[in-house]
């Protein structure tokens, strides 16, 4: 089974945010709204993406409904990203200069390197990644909503096509030396697709 574009950002987003929800549950504290909103929207969107994969043969016939639900998820992700917007200004990593290190290069001599140490705030980085995945989800759900709407229009145009049969009668007259003439008719049928 292939993963669709809608499912790819769902998996890490749910995992990142589940870490926070679990942490707050262990502390017996309420999960902040900015985490809870994007977590709930991501879980529902992941379930919807999986549902549309398993029922693709049915969802292709009601593509307009799939497009509507996808547009609703676009709005939900915009709201969730808006709740988490404060994380864009956060600085999650600091580069700290360490002590110099002497490295021996054998017969080529030695070198003195200045050490660099990077400190990363794990919670901040995970929230920033969730924010980025929320933006990706918004883009992907909008893209699939447009594709579903176009697919639905194509199916609707195909259903409006009908077959009109035209009959043409051809009469040929045969004359013969006999005192009476015979009439025979030949019928041809053509199908015209409108």
pLDDT in tens, 58-78: 655 678 888 899 999 999 999
CB atoms within 10 A of CB 188: 9
pLDDT level of residue 108 (50, 70, 90 thresholds): low
Residue 3's pLDDT is 46
Lowest mean pLDDT among 18-22, 50-54, 181-185: 181-185
Residue found by looking up tokens 């993963």 in the block: 3
Residue found by looking up tokens 């110099």 in the block: 100
For residues 19 and 38, what is the distance between their CA atoms, to the nearest angstrom? 13
**CA dihedral sign, ordered 57, 59, 62, 63:** negative
For residues 182 and 27, what is the distance between their CA atoms, to the nearest angstrom? 102
For residues 149 and 1, what is the distance between their CA atoms, to the nearest angstrom? 24
Question: What is the residue extent of each domain of the chain?
Answer: 10-89+122-160
For residues 137 and 9, what is the distance between their CA atoms, to the nearest angstrom? 6
pLDDT level of residue 1 (50, 70, 90 thresholds): very low
pTM for this prediction: 0.64
Q: Using CB atoms within 10 Å of the CB of residue 62, give its burial: 0 to 12 exposed, 13 to 18 middle, 19+ buried.
A: middle
């Amino acid at each position: 089974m292939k993963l669709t574009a809608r499912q790819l950002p769902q998996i890490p987003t749910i995992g990142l945010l589940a870490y926070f929800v679990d942490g707050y549950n262990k502390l017996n504290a309420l999960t902040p709204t900015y985490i809870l909103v994007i977590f709930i929207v991501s879980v529902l969107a992941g379930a919807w993406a999986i549902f549309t994969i398993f029922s693709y043969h049915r969802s292709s016939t009601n593509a307009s409904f799939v497009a509507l639900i996808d547009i609703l998820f676009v709005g939900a992700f915009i709201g969730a990203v808006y709740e988490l917007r404060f994380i864009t200004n956060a600085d999650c990593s600091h580069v700290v200069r360490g002590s110099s290190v002497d490295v021996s290069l054998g017969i080529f001599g030695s070198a003195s390197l200045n050490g660099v140490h990077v400190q990363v705030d794990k919670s901040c980085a995970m929230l920033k990644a969730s924010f980025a995945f929320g933006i990706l989800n918004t883009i992907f759900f909008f893209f699939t909503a447009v594709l579903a709407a176009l697919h639905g229009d194509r199916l609707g145009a195909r259903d409006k096509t009908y077959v009109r049969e035209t009959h043409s009668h051809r009469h040929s007259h045969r004359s013969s030396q006999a005192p009476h003439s015979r009439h025979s008719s030949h019928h041809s049928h053509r199908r015209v697709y409108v």
